Amino acid sequence: METTAPTPTGPIGADEAEFMQAARTDDGGRFALLTERFRRELLVHCYRMLASYDDAQDLTQETFLRAWAKRESFQGRASLRTWLYRIATNACLDFIEKRRDRTPVPADLHGVGGTGTEVLYLQPWPDGQPDDPYTQVVARETIELAFIVAVQHLPARQRAVLILRDVLGWPAQQTADALELTLASANSALARARATMRQHLPDGRLDWSARAGQGLSEAEQTLVSRYVEHLENLDLDGLADLLRDDVRFAMPPQVGVWVGRAAVVQTWIDGGLDKLEPTAFRCLITTANGQPAVAAYHRSPGATTYEALALDVLRVEGGLVAEMLTFGPEMFERFGLPEEL
């Protein structure tokens, strides 16, 4: 569990006192210095709330604008970090209320029939570098795409309560105060949120901090290397062998979810993957949301360079791909990936 719980009520800390002084004197430069260090963790918080990296960036900036506008209201009764999280949470709630398109939508499940839901606005999170200190304090399970997607199935305030309580470790009363709820209402919302999360998380697990601070497992590293080898050789049989029987495949923001090895492979064939030259692809291995990811580049016949094509983010279970989410080449820049090879 991440530890950004509020400072207990007591003497005003040095940061809080300095912030209040900056607010009284309209010292914008000092205000920026005191608040900017929280930007990355607030960005993560907004991303968990919204599932969109672009929206999270916008709402993080909105948080700082609101904090500046409300600077004189800060009395130091809570830590500066807690105050900023409260503003960020409410900014996200306002955004969700206005943007009704920021909820899961019904979708056909190709390959197995029936219907499910999709988060079409889902975007991957670009992991920090290994030496980025904040990377080490983000619990992997609370940034994984499976968690991010599951959270989107919660009503907005339940979503906020769950993240504040179970991810950030806030006390119940502090959470209730931040969201202007009664303590009973906040506790009830948390219980309902946990029950819904169990329905949407793989295997109904709630042990989101079990692997916090760890990188890719040996099994994940081995699998992603084999995935790249088979993709670069256009070995569809080899790729199929890496998929679980119940693998799920989607390409947000495009509509459609394919379930099952046969359905996924047929999608590749329908897209003409089997008709390409064996040298048509080159790949780079990276990570997204703490998960293995493969950046695929395609070379057109007669071309001398490989151009950015897609980013595949993989969820691995039991040494096989359990889920594959494919995103467009517009994601490459934010991941620090070249546009061509």
Residues 78 and 135 in one domain: yes
Residue 135 has pLDDT above 80, yes or no: no
Q: Is 40 within a domain? A: yes
- Is the bond leading into 253 cis (omega within 30 degrees of zero)? yes
Residues 60 and 166 in one domain: yes
Would you give the distance in Å from CA 8 to the centre of its chain? 29
- CA torsion sign for 195, 140, 289, 204 is negative
Residues 324 and 253 in one domain: yes
pLDDT average, residue stretch 39-44:
93
Pairing of strands 115-118, 281-288: unpaired
Residue 128 has pLDDT above 50, yes or no: yes
Last residue of a domain, one of 204, 227, 246: 204
Distance of alpha carbon 270 from alpha carbon 241, whole angstroms: 19
Distance of alpha carbon 151 from alpha carbon 37, whole angstroms: 26
* Highest-confidence segment of 62-66, 130-134, 315-319: 62-66
Pairing of strands 291-298, 243-250: unpaired
What's residue 277's pLDDT?
83
Residues 110 and 259 in one domain: no
Q: Is 8 within a domain? A: no
Average pLDDT of the chain? 88
Q: Provide the 3-class DSSP secondary structure of residue 78.
A: coil
pLDDT average, residue stretch 321-330:
96
CATH number at residue 261: 3.10.450.50
DSSP state, 165? Answer: I
Q: Is 3 within a domain? A: no
CB distance 252 to 120 below 8 Å: yes
CB distance 64 to 85 below 8 Å: no
Q: How many domains does the chain have?
A: 2
| Residue 76 binned pLDDT confidence (cut-offs 50, 70, 90) | confident
Residues 138 and 164 in one domain: yes
Q: Is 9 within a domain? A: no
Residues 33 and 182 in one domain: yes
End-to-end CA distance of the chain: 39
CB distance 161 to 190 below 8 Å: yes
* DSSP bridge partners of 311: 295, 327
Q: Is 213 within a domain? A: no
Residues 177 and 115 in one domain: yes
Residues 244 and 318 in one domain: yes
pLDDT average, residue stretch 3-20:
63
Q: What is the pLDDT of residues 274-325, one digit of tens each?
A: 888 878 999 999 999 999 999 999 999 889 999 999 999 999 998 999 999 9
What's residue 4's pLDDT?
46
Q: Whole-prediction pTM value?
A: 0.90
Residues 194 and 247 in one domain: no
Last residue of a domain, one of 155, 172, 204: 204
pLDDT average, residue stretch 60-74:
93
Q: Is 71 within a domain? A: yes
Q: Is 5 within a domain? A: no
Q: Please indicate whether residue 135 or residue 20 has the higher confidence score (pLDDT).
A: 20
Q: What is the pLDDT of residues 164-220, one digit of tens each?
A: 999 999 999 999 999 999 999 999 999 999 999 999 988 756 665 444 445 788 889
| Residue 8 binned pLDDT confidence (cut-offs 50, 70, 90) | very low
Distance of alpha carbon 333 from alpha carbon 69, whole angstroms: 32
Residues 144 and 284 in one domain: no
Distance of alpha carbon 281 from alpha carbon 283, whole angstroms: 7
Residues 108 and 154 in one domain: yes
Q: Is 272 within a domain? A: yes
What's residue 132's pLDDT?
54
Domain of residue 46: give its range.
14-204
Burial of 72 (0-12, 13-18, 19+ CB in 10 A): exposed
Instruction: Mark residue 289 as left, alpha or beta (left: phi above 0; alpha: psi -120 to 50; beta: remaining).
Output: left
pLDDT average, residue stretch 257-275:
92
Residues 172 and 235 in one domain: no
What's residue 6's pLDDT?
41
Q: What is the DSSP string of 251-300?
A: -TTS--EEESHHHHHHHHHHTTGGGS-TTSEEEEEEEETTEEEEEEEE--
Last residue of a domain, one of 204, 235, 252: 204
Nearest to 5 by CA among 148, 163, 189: 163
pLDDT average, residue stretch 253-281:
91
